[in-house]
């Protein structure tokens, strides 16, 4: 489990094919990996991946074909930045919301507009995910926990404060870019309970 509070960004240093899968090596000088062991889970732009190698400030992850096809990881190139977060420990503060690191779908940024010192971002989501996205609810975008401001049609809006933009890959993004989306776990459980009631 994660919280959607990004600890650092890293850059893709290597991407090598391994028997149908890909091994990503990510260099992250600002990421404290001193307590990261092989087998640990790290959220990489919202995707829960397992550390298979660690050398200094470089971490390597094997990514399955399914993860590559269902997320934006498959489109990453050398030098591209990713958001990083270590798995939650039970003693940690929950700053964002509970995030599983399982991406539900890919969204597309449709607009970025200034809003005082913040920015208002509009993101189109797959229709099947929109039913779980509610105003004042939580959504995870590229691993970042955000509050939904408004919902309309197949789009939702979030507000990004300068700190969030500066310390995440949002600084590299623009309209037309694709992002990983994870809906709020609570919304999924509520629907599951409701569907059980009807049987």
Residue at token pair 């992002």:
179
pLDDT the model gives residue 98:
85
pLDDT the model gives residue 7:
95
| C-alpha dihedral, 5 to 9 to 15 to 18, nearest 10° | -30
Residue at token pair 């958001």:
83
Q: How high is the mean pLDDT in each 10-residue block of the chain (199 residues)? A: 94 90 94 93 97 94 91 94 91 78 96 95 96 94 97 97 96 97 84 70
Name 73's Cβ contacts closer than 8 Å, sequence gap at least 6. Answer: 22, 24, 44, 45, 47, 63, 67
Name 81's Cβ contacts closer than 8 Å, sequence gap at least 6. Answer: 9, 10, 11, 169, 172
pLDDT the model gives residue 173:
96
Q: What are the DSSP calls for 165-183, one per residue? A: HHTSGGGG--TT-EEEEEE
Given the candidates 2.40.30.20, 3.30.420.40, 3.60.20.10, 3.30.930.10, the CATH classification of the domain at 105-197 is 2.40.30.20
Residue 132 CA, distance from chain mean position:
17
pLDDT the model gives residue 199:
57
Of how many residues is the chain composed? 199
CA angle 82, 185, 62 (to 5 degrees): 35
pLDDT the model gives residue 96:
73
The answer to whether 8-86 and 105-197 have equal CATH topology is yes
Given the candidates 3.55.50.30, 3.40.190.10, 2.40.30.20, 3.30.1490.100, the CATH classification of the domain at 8-86 is 2.40.30.20
> What ranges do the domains of the chain cover?
8-86, 105-197
pLDDT the model gives residue 80:
97
Provide the whole-model pTM: 0.92
Q: Which of 65, 78, 69, 72 is nearest to 24 (CA)?
A: 78
């Amino acid at each position: 489990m994660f919280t959607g509070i990004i600890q650092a960004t890293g850059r893709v240093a290597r991407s090598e094919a391994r028997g149908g899968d890909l091994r990503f090596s990510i260099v992250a000088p600002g990421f404290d990996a001193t307590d990261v062991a092989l087998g640990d889970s790290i959220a990489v732009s919202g995707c829960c991946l397992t550390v298979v190698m660690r050398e200094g400030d470089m971490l390597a992850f094997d990514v399955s074909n399914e993860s590559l096809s269902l997320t934006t990881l498959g489109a990453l190139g050398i030098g591209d930045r990713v958001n990083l977060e270590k798995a939650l420990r039970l003693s940690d503060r929950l700053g964002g919301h509970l995030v599983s690191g399982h991406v539900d779908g890919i969204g597309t940024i449709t607009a970025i507009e200034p809003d005082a010192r913040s920015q208002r971002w509009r993101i189109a989501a797959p229709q099947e995910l929109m039913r779980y996205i509610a105003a004042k609810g939580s959504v995870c975008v590229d691993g970042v926990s955000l509050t939904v401001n408004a919902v309309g049609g197949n789009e939702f809006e979030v507000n990004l404060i300068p700190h969030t933009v500066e310390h995440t890959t949002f600084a590299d993004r623009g309209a037309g870019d694709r992002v990983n989306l994870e809906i709020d776990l609570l919304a999924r459980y509520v629907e599951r309970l409701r569907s059980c009631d009807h049987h």
